[in-house]
């Protein structure tokens, strides 16, 4: 008997709930680790980049870091969990038919729940630092949607490639490490322009082609721009991030559905 749309939704909710339970199974602090981990990382980076290396920012370094660190943690953890999601459900994939895309979608949803809660904590954190929110905070839902769409597309790709190439887990680990340091997370976007030697400014243009640069800057812009209704990011700035998110989602879903018939045989 084929599953209905209601069955699909119930299955997605069950997968998501299971992911959340397994993530913190056997942990004493449980979900609190979603808050403790970024705070500890923030403390380490703050000591290194505000006291030792002294990266200059227009805001307290701790809140400057968290506004992009939290989206990055969501992105990286979704890709890492998503890559192994189909493989981990191999028994279910072999025995029962259901839309396989529900599995990687559920990993993203479980991480999204954690991410949204940490954003609420960030908002409290910013208020404690006397940060004033302006109309630019309206960009936050857009930034979250673009991040989710871009991440979902890549998660589709990594989850199906992992079935055929298990080396993808090791490649992904190295790639995410490189990607982290190539993004304006622990330093402002202007830092590259100020510190590049003359004749290497072409690297800045290449750097800004990184889709995550635009998405993370939207988060920082939403939280930190202090002039309401002024200095909104150029339309092409938002369009660039939107195009990348759409291309990632469409290409990822297309590849996933193309390879899906081979999952049960190859897994």
- 16: in domain: no
What CA–CA distance (Å, rounded) separates 151 from 146? 8
Give the SS3 label for residue 237. helix
Q: Which two tokens stand for residue 6?
A: 């209601």
CA distances from 227 to 144, 158, 214, 238, 253 (A): 22, 40, 20, 18, 39
Residue 97 makes CB contacts below 8 A (sequence gap 6+) with 3
- Count of domains observed in the chain: 1
Q: Is the pLDDT of residue 30 over 80?
A: no
Identify the pLDDT of residue 92. 81
201-257: pLDDT as tens digits: 666 677 777 889 889 988 988 887 644 444 555 577 788 899 999 999 999 999 999
In a domain, 186, yes or no: yes
Considering the domain boundaries, does residue 20 fall inside one? no
The pLDDT tens digits for 33-43 are 667 777 777 77
Q: Give the domain extent around 152.
A: 34-266
19 within some domain:
no
Answer yes or no: is 120 within a domain. Answer: yes
Q: Is 17 inside any structural domain? A: no
C-alpha distances (whole Å) from 159 to each of 1, 41, 108, 252, 267 are 27, 27, 12, 10, 11
Q: For a pLDDT cut of 70, what percent of the chain falls above it?
A: 85
SS (H, E, C) 102-161: HHHHHHHHHHHHHHHHHHHHHHHHHHHCCCCCCHHHHHHHHHHHHHHHHHHHHHHHHHHH
pTM for this predicted structure: 0.86
């Amino acid at each position: 008997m084929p599953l209905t749309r209601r069955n699909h939704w119930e299955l997605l909710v069950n997968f998501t709930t299971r992911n959340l339970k397994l993530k913190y199974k056997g942990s004493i602090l449980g979900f609190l680790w979603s808050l403790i981990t970024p705070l500890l990382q923030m403390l380490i980076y703050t000591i290194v980049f505000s006291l030792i290396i002294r990266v200059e920012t227009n805001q307290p370094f701790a809140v400057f870091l968290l506004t992009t660190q939290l989206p990055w943690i969501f992105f990286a953890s979704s890709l890492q969990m998503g890559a192994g999601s189909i493989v981990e459900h191999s028994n279910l994939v072999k025995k029962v038919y259901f839309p396989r895309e529900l599995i990687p979608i559920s990993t993203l949803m479980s991480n999204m729940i954690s991410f949204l809660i940490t954003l609420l904590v960030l908002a409290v954190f910013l208020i404690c630092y006397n940060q004033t929110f302006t109309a630019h905070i309206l960009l936050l839902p857009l930034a979250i949607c673009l991040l989710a769409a871009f991440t979902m597309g890549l998660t589709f790709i990594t989850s199906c490639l992992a079935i055929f190439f298990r080396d993808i887990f090791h490649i992904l680990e190295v790639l995410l490490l490189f990607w982290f340091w190539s993004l304006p997370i622990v330093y402002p976007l202007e830092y590259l322009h100020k510190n590049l030697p003359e004749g290497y400014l072409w690297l800045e243009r290449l750097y800004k082609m990184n889709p995550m640069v635009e998405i993370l800057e939207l988060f920082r812009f939403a939280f930190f721009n202090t002039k309401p209704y002024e200095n909104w990011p150029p339309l092409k700035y938002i369009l660039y991030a939107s195009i990348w998110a759409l291309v990632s989602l469409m290409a990822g879903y297309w590849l996933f559905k193309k390879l899906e018939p081979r999952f049960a045989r190859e897994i």
